[in-house]
Amino acid sequence: MTTDRRTVLADAAIGVLAQEGMRGLTHRAVDRASDLPPGTTSAYFRTRRALLTGLVRRLVALDQAELQAAGEQAGMPRDADELTDGLAGFVERRLAGEGRRRSLARYACAVESVRHPELREILVPRENAARETMRAFLGARGVADAEGRTLTLLACVDGLVFDRLVGGGGVLRDEIAGLVAAALRST
């Protein structure tokens, strides 16, 4: 567990945002959630915008670390079934526990970024081992625009996570298998 105050506060802010929504994200709420004295959050993140920016930076750092580790651990999938299983596991992690909390916060920040373009710049998808593995997998199977298909597949998986967070339900492997099959189609 980290003892860096900015990180502790940003982690607490992610939890507050996931639990209470954007309106509930206040300096006082983050102070309470982090078990730090009143005024601590505003000492480190003076304005609400600074708090949001710190939260988004931390969220991206956590996501990038997770995706980098997942890509390095999994390696290149042998076939479409293995890629489907990997994506299904990813979606399951995004819908439960810590992953759910971060997903809820991420989508709230994405909506907020419409009003605050500086947040959008931080939230832009980045390169990581998981994304590179998917691109390499598609390219190795002769997909002409492996980069474009990778982005489309990731957007579809992201949409599936959003749908299940908002509408409920679990991961249906067949849906993910259909997305992978569509990404592998030659035309």
What's the confidence (pLDDT) of residue 2? 61
Q: Number of helices (H) and strands (E) in the chain: give both, helices first.
A: 10, 0
Q: Name, in order, each residue with C-beta under 8 angstroms of 95's C-beta and a sequence gap of 6 or more.
A: 103, 161, 164, 165, 170, 171
Q: Is 86 exposed, middle or buried (0-12, 13-18, 19+ CB in 10 A)?
A: buried
Q: Angle CA(130)–CA(66)–CA(12) in degrees, nearest 5?
A: 150
CA distance 149 to 184: 8
pLDDT tens, the chain, 187 aa long: 567 999 999 999 999 999 999 999 999 999 999 999 999 999 999 999 999 999 999 999 999 898 888 888 878 899 999 999 999 999 999 999 999 999 999 999 999 999 998 998 898 877 888 889 999 999 999 999 999 999 999 999 999 999 999 999 888 899 999 999 999 997 5
Q: Which structural domain range is residue 43 located in?
A: 5-184
CA distance 54 to 94: 21
**Cβ(70)–Cβ(149) below 8 Å:** no
**Cβ(122)–Cβ(109) below 8 Å:** no
Which pTM was predicted? 0.90
Domain CATH number, residue 120? 1.10.357.10
Cα 129 → chain centroid: 15
Q: How many structural domains compose the chain?
A: 1
